[in-house]
């Protein structure tokens, strides 16, 4: 179901995950591939509780844009890893 949804994504659409643990049940590498597949379609992933800098990054240019995109990616990866660690500890 999820893979079909990703296949049908259009640029500019937003995939909303109810909680980060919906994604973090996957190993980190697979979760990152999932996020990359969403981005490759021109869509973005939104997770409540994780700061979303994507609109700010899109409105920026140059170094500011690169930094904001990098921070956004880092925040998501850190959240995925923390949630994955929590999932494995249970």
Domain 2-89 has CATH 3.90.1150.10: no
60 by Cβ neighbours in 10 Å (0-12 / 13-18 / 19+) ranks as: middle
Q: What is the pLDDT of residue 56?
A: 92
For residue 24, pLDDT beyond 80: no
Average of per-residue pLDDT across 19-39: 85
User: CA–CA separation, 30 vs 40, rounded Å?
Assistant: 15
Q: What is the pLDDT of residue 36?
A: 92
């Amino acid at each position: 179901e999820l893979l079909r949804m990703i296949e049908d994504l259009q640029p500019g659409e937003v995939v909303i995950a109810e909680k980060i643990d919906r994604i973090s049940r996957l190993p980190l590498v697979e979760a990152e591939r999932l996020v990359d597949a969403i981005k490759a379609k021109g869509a973005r992933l939104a997770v409540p509780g994780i700061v979303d800098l994507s609109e700010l990054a899109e409105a920026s240019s140059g170094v500011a844009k690169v930094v904001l995109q990098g921070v956004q990616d880092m925040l998501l990866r850190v959240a995925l890893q923390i949630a994955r660690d929590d999932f494995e500890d249970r």
